C-alpha cells in the first residue's frame, strides 16, 4: 500500500501582489494598496491556517489579504 502524501501549496509574493492588483481592479481594495513584507508573511500565515485552502486557494488568499488589511 502506497503512503498518501499531504498536498503542499507554494504561494509566492508575486501571486499575492497579483491578487491585490486584481482586487483593486474589482474595487475590493483601494487604489495603491501595498503590503509590507511583514503583512505578506501574515497573509501567508492566514492562508496556511485556512481550513478551506484546498477547496479554493484563490478565495483563501483574498480572505487572508482582507484579514491582514483589516487587522
Distance (Å, rounded) from C-alpha 69 to C-alpha 47?
Answer: 14
* C-alpha atoms less than 13 angstroms from C-alpha of 28 in its C-beta half-sphere: 14
pTM of the model: 0.68
Task: State residue 26's pLDDT score.
Answer: 92
Q: How far is CA 46 from the centre of its chain?
A: 8
Q: Is 19 helix (H, G, I), strand (E, B) or coil?
A: helix
Confidence of residue 70 (pLDDT cuts 50, 70, 90): confident
List pLDDT tens digits, range 12-67: 888 888 989 999 999 988 888 888 889 988 888 877 777 766 677 888 888 888 88
Task: State residue 25's pLDDT score.
Answer: 93
Amino acid at each position: 500500500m502506497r503512503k498518501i502524501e499531504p498536498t503542499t501549496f507554494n504561494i509566492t509574493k508575486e501571486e499575492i501582489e497579483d491578487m491585490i492588483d486584481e482586487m483593486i481592479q474589482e474595487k475590493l481594495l483601494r487604489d495603491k494598496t501595498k503590503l509590507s513584507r511583514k503583512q505578506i508573511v501574515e497573509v501567508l500565515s492566514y492562508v496556511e491556517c485556512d481550513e478551506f485552502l484546498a477547496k479554493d486557494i484563490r478565495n483563501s488568499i483574498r480572505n487572508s489579504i482582507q484579514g491582514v488589511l483589516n487587522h
